[in-house]
Amino acid sequence: MKNIKIAIQKSGRLNEDSLALLKECGIQIDTSKQVLKATASNFNLDVLFLRNDDIPNYLEDGVVDIAILGENTIWEKQKSFNVIQKLGFSKCRVSIATPKGIPYNGLQDLKGKRIATSYTNTLQNYLNENNINAEIHEISGSVEIAPNIGLADAIMDIVSSGGTLFNNGLVEREVVLRSEAVLVARKDLDNELNQLLQTLIFRVKSVLEARKFKYILLNAPNDKIEEITNILPVLKSPTVLPLAMEGWSSLHSVIEKDKFWEILEKLKNAGAEGILVVPIEKMVL
pLDDT of the residue at 235: 66
pLDDT of the residue at 67: 97
CA angle (129 as vertex; 123, 134 as ends), nearest 5: 50
Give the CA dihedral 108, 114, 118, 119, nearest 10 degrees: 30
pLDDT of the residue at 227: 92
Please provide the distance, in angstroms rounded to a whole number, between the alpha carbons at the two ends of the chain: 29
Which residue, among 206, 220, 230, 227, has the nearest Cα to 281 in the 3D structure? 206
pLDDT, mean over the chain: 92
Q: 106 in the Ramachandran plot: left (φ > 0), alpha (ψ -120 to 50) or beta?
A: left
> With 80 as the cut, is the pLDDT of residue 86 above it?
yes
The domains found in the chain, sorted by start residue, are 4-90+180-210 (3.40.190.10), 92-179 (3.40.190.10), 213-279 (3.30.70.120)
pLDDT of the residue at 146: 92
User: Using one digit for the tens of pLDDT, what is the confidence trace for 141-200?
Assistant: 789 999 999 999 999 999 988 888 999 999 999 999 999 999 999 988 999 999 999 999
pLDDT of the residue at 234: 63
pLDDT of the residue at 82: 87
> With 70 as the cut, is the pLDDT of residue 60 above it?
yes
Q: What pLDDT band is residue 120 in, cutting at 50, 70 and 90?
A: very high
> With 80 as the cut, is the pLDDT of residue 4 above it?
yes
- Summarize the confidence of residues 110-116 as an average pLDDT: 96
> With 70 as the cut, is the pLDDT of residue 50 above it?
yes
pLDDT of the residue at 205: 95
> With 90 as the cut, is the pLDDT of residue 271 above it?
yes
On whether the CB atoms of residues 150 and 43 are closer than 8 A, the answer is no
pTM tops 0.75, yes or no: yes
Q: What pLDDT band is residue 126 in, cutting at 50, 70 and 90?
A: very high
* Residue 51 CA to its chain's centroid (Å): 18
On whether the CB atoms of residues 219 and 248 are closer than 8 A, the answer is yes
On whether the CB atoms of residues 74 and 7 are closer than 8 A, the answer is no
> Which residues neighbour 273 within 8 Å (Cβ) at sequence distance 6 or greater?
218, 219, 220
- Ordered DSSP codes for 117-172: ES-HHHHHHHHHHTT---EEEE--S-GGGTGGGTS-SEEEEEESSSHHHHHTTEEE
Best mean pLDDT range from 79-83, 122-126, 164-168, 210-214: 122-126
Name the 3-class secondary structure at 93.
strand
State which H helix or E strand residue 47 sits in.
Answer: strand 45-50
Q: What pLDDT band is residue 5 in, cutting at 50, 70 and 90?
A: very high
On whether the CB atoms of residues 48 and 64 are closer than 8 A, the answer is yes
pLDDT of the residue at 236: 73
Q: Buried b vs exposed e over 193-223: b needs ≥16 C-beta within 10 Å?
A: beebbeebbebbbbbbebbebbbbbbbbbee
Q: How far apart are CA 111 and CA 130, in angstroms?
A: 11
- Ordered DSSP codes for 228-282: HHHHS--SS--EEEE-SSTTEEEEEEEEEGGGHHHHHHHHHHTT-EEEEEEE-S-
> With 80 as the cut, is the pLDDT of residue 87 above it?
yes
User: Using one digit for the tens of pLDDT, what is the confidence trace for 196-240?
Assistant: 999 999 999 999 999 989 899 999 999 999 999 988 866 678 899
Amino acid at 247: G
